[in-house]
């Protein structure tokens, strides 16, 4: 498979790390889930988000992202699906009782992983971003453009995994401290609910 030049891959990885560190819906989502549910839950969400990036990478490689960008109806529909899902998470967080952290069951693991995937895939802004960002690091003279896009997508996933994983571990430790107080945990759940609602509003009002 055609790969980007080593210097291009290194530069792309560095930029990807900086982008992952920039405040945005995904890393805020990881932070709140980790603080609410613990490190293990946060890492499962991170894995889900990274899996969602596979979908966006494939969409760019296959040209689907361009179709979404060109179709206001498709973009709006996907945006509203994402916004409604975030509102659902906000409602769940608001009602969540105080509970011990790091008690993730097998069923919870699947749900948290799926939550990360849905959160990422239903954000059309990510596809549009990939459509604008990845091609800047593609060199057509090196061969298959689609293959290079896939490699760049994997590099972006690695950067995201490292940065978001660190966020999950840090926030999970903070949440473990707050879990000592049922009142503090209830406040954290309410803050998470308001955060998810704010993210839903931001996504719903997103403009191309």
Contact 61, 149 (CB under 8 A): yes
The answer to pTM > 0.85 is no
Contact 116, 47 (CB under 8 A): yes
| Pair of tokens at residue 200 | 């839903």
Domain ranges of the chain: 47-204
Model confidence over 93-134: pLDDT tens digits? Answer: 777 665 555 555 556 788 889 989 988 888 777 877 787 777
CA–CA separation, 74 and 164 (whole Å)? 29
32 pLDDT above the threshold of 80: yes
Q: Where would I find the H helices in the chain? A: 6-21, 25-37, 39-62, 64-70, 72-95, 106-121, 124-133, 145-178, 182-204
Query: Minimal CA–CA distance to 54: which of 191, 196, 155, 184?
Result: 155
Tell me what pLDDT residue 177 has: 65
């Amino acid at each position: 498979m055609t790969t980007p030049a080593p210097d291009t891959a290194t530069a792309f990885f560095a930029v990807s790390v900086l982008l992952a560190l920039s405040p945005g819906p995904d890393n805020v989502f990881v932070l709140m889930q980790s603080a609410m549910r613990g490190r293990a839950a946060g890492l499962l969400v991170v894995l889900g988000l990274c899996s969602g990036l596979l979908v966006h990478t494939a969409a760019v490689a296959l040209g689907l992202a361009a179709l979404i960008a060109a179709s206001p109806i498709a973009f709006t529909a996907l945006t509203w699906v994402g916004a409604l899902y975030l509102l659902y998470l906000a409602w769940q967080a608001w009602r969540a009782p105080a509970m011990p952290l790091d008690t993730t069951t097998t069923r919870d693991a699947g749900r948290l992983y799926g939550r990360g995937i849905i959160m990422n895939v239903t954000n059309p802004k990510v596809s549009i971003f990939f459509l604008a960002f990845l091609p800047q690091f593609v060199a057509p003279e090196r061969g298959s453009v689609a293959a290079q896009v896939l490699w760049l997508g994997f590099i972006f996933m690695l950067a995201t995994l490292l940065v978001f994983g660190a966020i999950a571990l840090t926030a999970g430790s903070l949440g473990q401290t707050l879990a000592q107080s049922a009142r503090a945990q209830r406040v954290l759940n309410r803050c998470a609910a308001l955060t998810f609602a704010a993210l839903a509003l931001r996504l719903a009002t997103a403009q191309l």
